[in-house]
Structures are given as structure tokens and as C-alpha cells.
Amino acid sequence: MIAFWVVAGVLSAAAAGLILQNAARAAHRAGSVDPTSAVYRRQLREIDDLAGRGLIADEERKSAHAEAARRLLSAADAAAPPWTAQTQYRRPVLVAALLAPFAALGLYLAVGAPGLPDQPFRGRIAAWRALDPAMLTAPQMAAVLKALIAERGPDAEAYGFLAKAEIAAENPSGAIRALRRAIELAPQRVDLWEGLGEVLMIEAGGEVTPPAQRAFAEALKRDPASVISRFHLARGRIAAGDRDGGLADWKALASELPQSDPRRAAVEAAIAQAQGAPPAATGDMAAIRGMVEGLAARLEASPEDPQGWVRLVRSYAVLGMDSERDTALAKARARYADRPEIVKALEIAAKTAPMGKVAP
Amino acid sequence: MIVEIGAFSLVLALALSLVQAMLSAAARVKRSRVLAGAGEGAALAAFAGLALAFAALMYAFVTSDFSVANVAANSHSDKPLLYRIAGTWGSHEGSMLLWCLALTGCGAAVAGLGRGLPDGLKTLTVAVQGVLGVVFLAYTVLASNPFARLDAPPIEGRSLNPLLQDPALAFHPPMLYLGYVGLSVVFSFAVAALIEGRVDAAWARWVRPWTLVAWSALTVGITLGAFWAYYELGWGGWWFWDPVENASFMPWLVATALLHSAIVTEKRGALAGWSVFLALAAFTFSMLGAFLVRSGVLTSVHAFAVDPTRGALLLIILGVTAGAAFALFAWRAPALSPGGVFAPVSRESALVLNNILLAAATATVLLGTLYPLIREAATGEAISVGPPFFNLTFTPLMAALVILLPAGPLLAWKRGDARGVAQRLWVAVLIAFACGLAAFALVSPHKAFASAGIAMGAWLVVGAFVELAERTRAFRGPMTETWRRLIGLPRGAWGMTLAHLGLGVFVLGACFETGWKLESAEAIPIGGRLDVGAYQLVLDGVRGVEGPNYDAERGYLRATKADALVCEPRPERRFYPTGGQTTSEVAICTRGVSHLYVVLGERRPGPDGPVWLVRAYWNPWALLIFIGPAIMALGGLVSLSDRRLRMAVGAKEARA
Amino acid sequence: MRRALAIVAAVFCLAAASDPAERLADPAQEARARAIFREVRCLVCQNESIDDSNSELAADLRRLVRDEVKAGMSDEEVRDHLTGRYGEFVLLKPAFSWGNAALWGAPFLVVGLGLLLLVRGFRTRGAEAELSQDEAARLARLSDDEPA
């Protein structure tokens, strides 16, 4: 604040100084003659010069010379007396030089924001990093993670977290970019490929687009048992019109899953839905709900799966099931209270906006 | 703190401009050097303040300070540095700041460089610049403040339009604004001379270098804009007679006319009133160009920073400024002397014809741009005026100008020798006809109009060389004599020859490209083929690539001619997630002065896997379209370096 | 700014008329259709012809024109049909009508007026003499004063 006023004062003084200095210099400059006649004298010399080099004919030279000479004569007649350099106007100059900064100050106080510090992006990120991560919003978290990655070099894990933060920040395209980078670094990680497929789906409003299919296929290549990939690929087949093929895949998937696996129930629910009604948005919704219920049941059975908890919380958030989300969040928090990065991921997941907002 | 220093500097510059206007006006009334010097000091200080403000805004953009509303609305932390810098002038507020920077810069230039000018003319010019500065700075500070702050800055900015994230476009606005605003000096000179009542040959000489600077900058600025449209919009066109283009073209036409009429005024004292009129009109058209588009009154494919409310305010400023200046002109002009006489066949007549044609061209463009508005306001009927209108009206006017052009510089002042000129030009006539005939006969399909255009381009180019040969007595005396003359030619003469040559090069390129461009488009799978002209394109593959702030599909193509590999175009289709926009990044293979222009379009499902819509153009001689104006601008700069003109600006004459 | 973005977003991919999916089989008819496209305004766009625009309405208009060209209608008939349906606004080339007389006539008017003034200037101005003795003497005196 003080620095600002000092700089503003220096600037004002410099401006006033420039005005006064120029005024003083002008007062000392000798009174010059009217330069107009000098221009015409030069014109006369030019005409002679051109004629001397043979560039204009003699006749032309004569008439051009006469014309320029007449201009010179009339300029000499009209020559204004030189201006005064008297110092009687020093006072108005001084007043003006001093008034300008004050006028500027008055206007600045009306339109400016004195004392408001700069907020460069880097500085804000540094401030966020100093905060408790739980206090950060998802976009802030994403910005912090990006800065971290830039600082510490690329790292699949960090990109994975960034992807989650981006999803929470309703920026699926950012999440996709982050996941692609993560996959470049760790192409063998099935969960990244699955995540990429899911985000691509979210971006496409729930549709299993060809890029999403490719991502799921990559996941399957690395882990033929990838349930998520098989489930969505089959869903894509149904949506594309191959209802029987998709249902057959789902049935095969269900039969391979052990009875105790809660995901089996979810797949079966989806099959029932699909058989009951033609594949539509509501059908997809029900299938997703089924999946989420399956996930919840599985975590109930074997709770040692942090990523599973994060996914569950996010799923509830996406589905708009707020009370379930809060219960799951509380449970997971209690479980992983000693692991802040998981708590952070859970917080982010919980802040995910409901589906309607993500994919309008 | 830096942002607020910028905000304070901007306001300080406004106050200093006011002081500049008042002290300079008082200096003229009291005929006091002290007051005049103080006014000049204020002009220098105002420029320094604005430069500081501009630097502060640039700092805010570079550091992505989203607490500045303008940065938050027009930048993003992901953007590459160049486009964060270019974002400074990419918005309404920022571009107004750039406008003011150029305006105060011009005021400071007159104050600092104009030591050879008469006291009265110079002081009044500085005063008028001060008044213009007050008007535009007040608008910027009160209605369009680029330093407005946000209490709750957003996490991320809203990014700059991806089409504007392009090197050519990053520098197009500064050049264009330098041209637009450079004409403000010419305007101020005209107002000052009208108040002084002395519009004479000396005035024309003093105003010429300023016109040359502005004209050269405008030429470069418009060309950069056309070049941007050519390779960024992705359909190979470079001029669309769009209102925005017309708006920048009109001041250029007027400035061109002024450059020529000022010669007559300087050499013969004639056309003084007309030259002053053009000087006033040039800046008026600049303001019209800069503001008409923003007001939202006209629609355009290039429209940017549209804001109807503030645009209306700008149009009011334009009306008051230009209205006052032209009222002064109407009052003072009748008293101006008519100047020297000249015969119907003479250099003067040629230059007057040039001005008549350029004035008619300007009127055509102006009317073509505004007529739909006028007609709708008058009768309620909506009509469109598009490229077909301009092709039918503007082109014949320019053709007439081109036909007359090579004769002009060969004619003597006062009374020219028509037969002598014809004798000197018959070689050029012959060559031009031969070129036109050759184009008609050899290039298929046979096109009469395009061939005539080629003949005209050749006529200009050969005419420029004939003019040079004439000045140096080439082929008519010993080589050493010719060489001596060539060395001795004034820079101004070189500048003119270059500018005329550049126009010829442009005409050649424009006619050839327009007449014989080839277009070809197919939806092809990987491995598919597309023929355009003599070239075969094969799509080898399409891969996803990731840019700093976009994702893209990049096409890998091979272009062959008669089975020989020519080049490997890599067109891209980019998606910018922050704005959700798609742009196409054209691949251009330069073959001599021609372009093979390849665009990757959308992906579509095909019978056997996906296909891509690939468009290819063969744009023959397209490079000349942009080289020509570059030569013209170079001519302007060479002229500017002429000793005689520097005298007019510099101090030596005053001490003489 | 938002509106400007929307405008430019509509522009990003042009030359839509060259799309092979829309093309007519007969090259001569296709060339005729393309020539007509260049003179027809895309009504919802910012000052583009339907040859350039990829908006849906432009595609509809292109289909209409192509169908009519294919059906053997003359250029004139196609244009008349378009103006009948959408008004004169749809044509980028304004009609030669009295309402547009000022528009089409202006270039000729300015050239005519300029030539008239030029010719009048030749008549009214008198000849110019060489310097009189008196003037020459004053010039000599001024030249003596020359400080250079």
C-alpha cells in the first residue's frame, strides 16, 4: 500500500518534471525564423540540383523555379514574428503541472482499487498449497495439482489425482487430458484405462463412444477380467442396436462373477432392466444405480479398497443421492483418517456435481 | 501493486492529455514558447504514462492475474506466452488501450520530432492530438477500463478465442492500429493548418512523412489480416468484402489518395483544399473502421469485441470529432488559394485522375458497406451487398487506375508529352499483351477476364521498370552513366517505383489465384487418394496429438506430382476444450510462388471404417498476393528514409 | 465478447459446399449450382454466402438450389424462386432497381463529378508568367539573406 503511493507520487513528480523541463528548455531556445521559407529555399535548390543532373528539362526548370520562388516570396511576406520566450507564463505552467497529478488522483480514487494487490496465478496457487487441502474447491485442487506436476515432473499417480479433481471441477476434458498423460507414463495400469473410458463416457453424456470403447478395450487387453470395461462395452453394444449380443456379454459376465460378488447383482439388475425395457436413458440410469449398489455391497464385504470408496462417494454424488453420499463419505473418512491424500480425494469426489449438470 | 500502478498511470495520462491540450492552445493564443514547451512536455509524459499502463496490463496477462476482469474474461493460464501477451489487445478494453497508446505515441512523436515545424502549426497539432487523447482516454477510463478489478477472482480465465491464437493475428492489430492512429497526426495537422489558415506546399511536405508511416503500417496490417484469413479460416479465401475488411480498406484508399494529392500540393501548390479534405477524411474513416464494427451495427465474420452500448458511444465520439473538423473545413477551405495551373495532359492531371478513381473506389466501398443500413432505415426493406457488387463496381475502377498508372510517372509536370510517353511505353504495352495472350492460350481452362488481369499486372510491373529505365537513361547511354544515375536517384523515387511494382505483383497474384484456383474435396479413408490439379494426395494416417491448450487430430498426407514426392502436408483439426471450439490448422506446401493448401475436415463413419473429409486447393501464385503489398509497404519505408522528407521532420531545417 | 465468440465459432469450418456428400452427379450442373451459391446469402450467418457456411440453413438452401438446378430450372428462375421465398435480402448481389440506383450509380457519379471539376479547372485558370523583374530582385535579396 505504501509502496503504491510512493510509486504513484514518483510518477506524478516525473510527469510534472517533464512538463517543467520542456517549458524551461523552450524558454532558452533561441527564437527561430519561420521554417516555411526554408522549405521553399530547399525546393529551389532541389530544382536546380535536378536540372544540374539532367533529370528535368531547362524549360521545366525555369517555370518550376518561378513558382517556387513566388511561394518563397509570399511566405516571406506572411512570415509571422517569432514567438516570445518570456517567462511570464511560468506560473500557469507550474499550476498545470501540479494540478494534473491531483486531478489524476481524484479520478483514480473514483475508478481504481487503491491498495488491492496483484494476484498472479502462481501466487494464488502457492497460497492454496499452504492451505489445508480439505478446504480447497475442486478447481483449486486441480490448479494446485497441475502446479505440483509442473514442479516435480510427470507422475502417473499425480495425473490420476488431477483427473479426479478435474472431474469434480466439472471439467471432463481436463480429466481426459490428465488420464491420457497418466496412461503415457503407466500404460499397464488398468484402472487408468477404465477411468479414461468412464470419463469419455461422462463427456459424451453417458454414451459409450468409440474413443471410450477403445479405452475399455485397452483395459481388457491388460486385464481380461476388467468388470467395468466388459460392463460398459456390452452396454455400448446394446445402445448400438446389438441388444442380443450385449445381453449375452452381460450374462456371461454375471455368470463368471462369484455369487458373493455384489457386482453380480448389479449386472443382473441391468440385464433385467434391459430385458424389461428397450435401452434408454432410464435404463442406463438403472444400470448405473445397480452398479453403484453392487460396489457398495462389495465395500461392505471387503472395505480395504480406498479407490473403491472414492468411486462410491463420487457415484452417489453424480446420482444426486446426497444422504448415501454423506454416509459413505463419513465411513471412508473414519477409515482413512491417517491418509490425507485419500481424504482429499474423497472430499473432491463428494463435491462432484450431480449428473444433470455434468452432461446437460 | 503493478496493476494498480497501471490504472493510476492511465488516469494520469488522461489528466496530462488535458494539460497538453490546454497549454498548447494557450501557447498559440499567447504566442508563448514557454507554454508550447510545457504542452510538448505534457504530450511526452502522457505517452510515458500510457506506455506504463500498457506494460502493466501486459504484466497482468502474462502472470494470469484473474483479479483483473479483462484478464479473467480473455485469458487462461494454459495459454502459451505469446498469446497471453497478444491477449493484451485481444479484447475491447485492451484494444482501446492500444489505440490510446498509439494516439499518445503520435502526439509525443510530433512534440519530440517536429522541431522543423513552424511554432503555430506544431503547437496547434500537439493541441489537437491532446484533445483527441482526452476524448479517447476519457472513454477508456470511464466506459471501458481495462484495469477494472474483481473482488472474487475466478480460478481460471475464460480464454481467448482460439482463432485469434495465431502468430499473424497476434501482430495484425498493432500494425493496423499504428496505421489507423498514425492518420490521427495527419488529421491534427489538417485541423491545425485550417486554424492557422496556411495550407500550402510546405504543409504538404510536412504532412507527407506522417502519411507514409501510417500508410505503410496500414498496408502491412491489412495484409497480415488477409493472410490470417487465408490460412486460418480454412477455405483459401483472402478477401471477402466483409464489413470489417472494408472498414480497414477505406482509410487505406483515402491515405493512398492523400499520398498522391499531397505531391501535387507540395510541387505545385495546387489541390491544397482537396489534400486537407483527404487528411481529415483519412482519420475519420479510421475511426469509422475501428468503431463501426464494434458497435454491432454491421455484422461480419471477423467481428470482435462487439458491444452495442459502448459502440454507440464510440460512434457519437466519431460524429462529434469528424463533424467539428469538417465544419472547420467548410468555413476555412474557400479561402485557400487554387495553386498552379496545368494542362490536361500532365503529371498533375494524372494524379488528379488517380484521386478521382480512388475517391470513387472509396465511395463504392463505403456505400456498399452502409447501403443495407440506409435502405433498411429508409424503406424497411432488407437487402444484402456482397462480393458480386464489389466485383462489378470496384474492379472496373481499379482496372482504370491500373491502366493509367504507368503513364503517370512518365508525364512531365504542367504540360506533358502524350506522344513521348506512348513511345516510351509501347514496349510495356507489347509485353503486357503478350503475357495476357500467353495466359489465355496456355493456361486451361481459358479465361478471358483472368488473362486480362494478368496483362494488367504485367503492364504495371514492366511499367515500373520502364519508368526506372527512363529516369536512368538506360539503353540510351553508356552503362556507367546509367549506373551513376541509378545511384543518384532520390529515395522517394525508389519508393514510388517499389510501391507501383508491388501493386503489379499483387495484381498478378490476385488475378492468377482467383482465375485458376482449383478445389477438390473427398471423404477418404486411411490410404485413400485425392487429386487436385497435377498433384495426388494420399492420406497415410490420422493421429491424435495434444497441444498446450488443445487436442487435435493430425492428418499425415503425402503429396506427389508425377510420382515424385513433393511434400508431406500435416493439417490439423484442433479442439479447444476451454471454449469448446474447433478450428482447422491448414497445411500449406509452397511450390515456387504457388500454394498447395490442404485442410483436414471432420471424421465420418464410412462403409469400411472411418473416413475423413479432406479438402485440397491448388492456389497458383497465391504467395504474390502477400508479397505484393509487402513490396508496397517497403516502398513506403524507403520513401520515408528520403533525406528530403527527413528534413521536413527533423531539426536541421529550423537551424538553417 | 460472448456474442463475438459465438459468431466466430460459427465460422471455423467453411467452404461447406464442397462436401462430396452433397454434390450433384453432373459436373456441369454442380458448377452452376456452386456459382449460384456464391451469390446467395446464408440468412442466419454473419455475412457469408451459402457456399461458405456450414450452418444447417445453408445446407438446406444448398439442397434446394441443387434440386432446382437438377430439375432443369435456369439460374434466373432459381434466383427468382429464392427471392420470392426469402426477399431480396437473400441475394448478395443487389438487384438493378430504382431502389438501388444510388448504390449502383455512386461510383459513376463520383467519377463524373471529379472529371467535371477537373475540366472546369482547366478552363478557369489563367496562364502563369515568369518572374517579373521586381520579383526577381526580391528573390535575390532573400537569397542573400539565406543564413546557410
pLDDT of residue B155: 85
pLDDT at residue C116 is higher than 80: yes
Q: Do B141 and A111 touch (CB under 8 A)?
A: yes
Cell numbers found for residue B19: 494539460
pLDDT of residue C6: 35
Whole-angstrom Cα distance, residue A277 to residue A287?
A: 12
- Report residue B388: phi and psi, to 5°: -60, -35
Query: Domains in chain C and their CATH numbers?
Result: 2-93 (1.10.8.640)
Torsional class of B31: left (φ above 0), alpha (ψ -120 to 50), beta (otherwise): left
Contacts of A41 in chain C (CB under 8 A): 143, 146, 148
Distance from CA of C126 to the nearest CA of A (A): 14
Residue B392 belongs to a domain: no
Of C130, C138, C142, the CB nearest to A66: C130
Residue C24 sits at the vertex; the CA angle it makes with C19 and C28, to the nearest 5 degrees, is 115
Q: Do B67 and A41 touch (CB under 8 A)?
A: no
Contacts of C135 in chain A (CB under 8 A): 69-70, 73
pLDDT by residue (tens digit) across B214-250? Answer: 999 999 999 998 998 888 877 778 888 888 888 899 9
Residues B257 and B216 in one domain: yes
Summarize the confidence of residues B99-113 as an average pLDDT: 94
pLDDT by residue (tens digit) across A305-333? Answer: 777 788 888 788 777 777 888 888 888 88
Contacts (Cβ under 8 Å, ≥6 apart) of C62: C16, C17, C22, C33, C37, C50
* Structural domain for B581, as ranges: 518-619
Whole-angstrom Cα distance, residue A339 to residue B100?
A: 56
pLDDT at residue A149 is higher than 90: no
Of B44, B118, B142, the CB nearest to A36: B118
Residues B611 and B575 in one domain: yes
pLDDT at residue B360 is higher than 90: yes
Contacts of A10 in chain B (CB under 8 A): none
Residue B305 belongs to a domain: yes
Contacts of B523 in chain C (CB under 8 A): 20-21
Whole-angstrom Cα distance, residue B514 to residue B628?
A: 15
Query: Is residue A82 within 8 Å of residue B32, measured between CB atoms?
Result: no
Residues B202 and B273 in one domain: yes
Contacts (Cβ under 8 Å, ≥6 apart) of B430: none
pLDDT by residue (tens digit) across A333-343? Answer: 888 877 777 78
Highest-pLDDT range among A81-95, A124-138, A284-298, B30-44: B30-44
A323 touches chain B (CB under 8 A): no
Mean per-residue pLDDT of chain B: 88
| ipTM of the modeled complex | 0.85
pLDDT of residue A6: 93
Residue B401 belongs to a domain: no
pLDDT of residue B647: 46
pLDDT by residue (tens digit) across B165-182? Answer: 778 777 888 899 999 999
Residues B255 and B331 in one domain: yes
Nearest to B322 by CA among B296, B286, B294: B286
Residues B209 and B151 in one domain: no
pLDDT by residue (tens digit) across A87-120? Answer: 788 888 999 999 999 999 999 999 988 888 899 9
pLDDT of residue A360: 31
C57 touches chain A (CB under 8 A): no
Residue B85 belongs to a domain: yes
Residue A310 sits at the vertex; the CA angle it makes with A170 and A332, to the nearest 5 degrees, is 135
Domains of chain A, residue spans: 1-25+91-117, 37-78
B234 touches chain C (CB under 8 A): yes
> Considering only alpha carbons, which residue of chain B is nearest residue C42?
B384
Whole-angstrom Cα distance, residue B588 to residue B618?
A: 10
pLDDT band per the 50, 70, 90 thresholds, residue B399:
very high
Cell numbers found for residue A235: 452396454
Of A37, A69, A76, the CB nearest to C131: A69
pLDDT at residue C121 is higher than 50: yes
Cell numbers found for residue B230: 487465408
Residues B247 and B102 in one domain: no
Summarize the confidence of residues B627-656 as an average pLDDT: 71
Q: Do B163 and C87 touch (CB under 8 A)?
A: no
> Considering only alpha carbons, which residue of chain C is nearest residue B358?
C111
- The strand pairing partners of B617, in sequence order, are B519, B597
Cell numbers found for residue B513: 489465384
Burial-class residue A167 by CB neighbours within 10 Å (0-12, 13-18, 19+). Answer: buried
pLDDT by residue (tens digit) across B584-607? Answer: 889 999 999 999 999 998 888 888
Residues B91 and B23 in one domain: yes
Whole-angstrom Cα distance, residue B315 to residue B373?
A: 15
Whole-angstrom Cα distance, residue B586 to residue A8?
A: 48
pLDDT of residue A31: 60
pLDDT band per the 50, 70, 90 thresholds, residue A210:
confident
Q: Judged by CB atoms within 8 Å, which residues 200-229 of A form the interface with B? A: none
Of A4, A19, A84, the CB nearest to B4: A4
Residue B509 belongs to a domain: no
Residues B370 and B228 in one domain: yes
pLDDT of residue A228: 84
Contacts of C136 in chain A (CB under 8 A): 69
C139 touches chain A (CB under 8 A): yes
Residues B221 and B278 in one domain: yes
Split into its structural domains, chain B has a count of 3
B393 touches chain C (CB under 8 A): yes
Residue B642 belongs to a domain: no
Beta strands in C1-148 (DSSP E): none
B295 touches chain C (CB under 8 A): no
Q: For every residue of A102-138, which 3-state class applies, written as one string?
A: HHHHHHHHHHCCCCCCCCCHHHHHHHHHHCCHHHCCH
According to DSSP H, which parts of A30-112 are helical? Answer: 35-52, 58-78, 90-111
Whole-angstrom Cα distance, residue B526 to residue B538?
A: 8
Nearest to B53 by CA among B112, B120, B2: B2
Residue B632 belongs to a domain: no
pLDDT of residue B254: 97
Q: Do B397 and C107 touch (CB under 8 A)?
A: yes
Contacts of C139 in chain A (CB under 8 A): 69, 72-73
Residue B325 belongs to a domain: yes
Q: Do A73 and C142 touch (CB under 8 A)?
A: yes
pLDDT of residue B475: 76
pLDDT of residue C3: 34
Can you give the length of chain B in residues?
Answer: 656
pLDDT at residue A79 is higher than 80: no
Of C5, C52, C92, the CB nearest to B384: C92
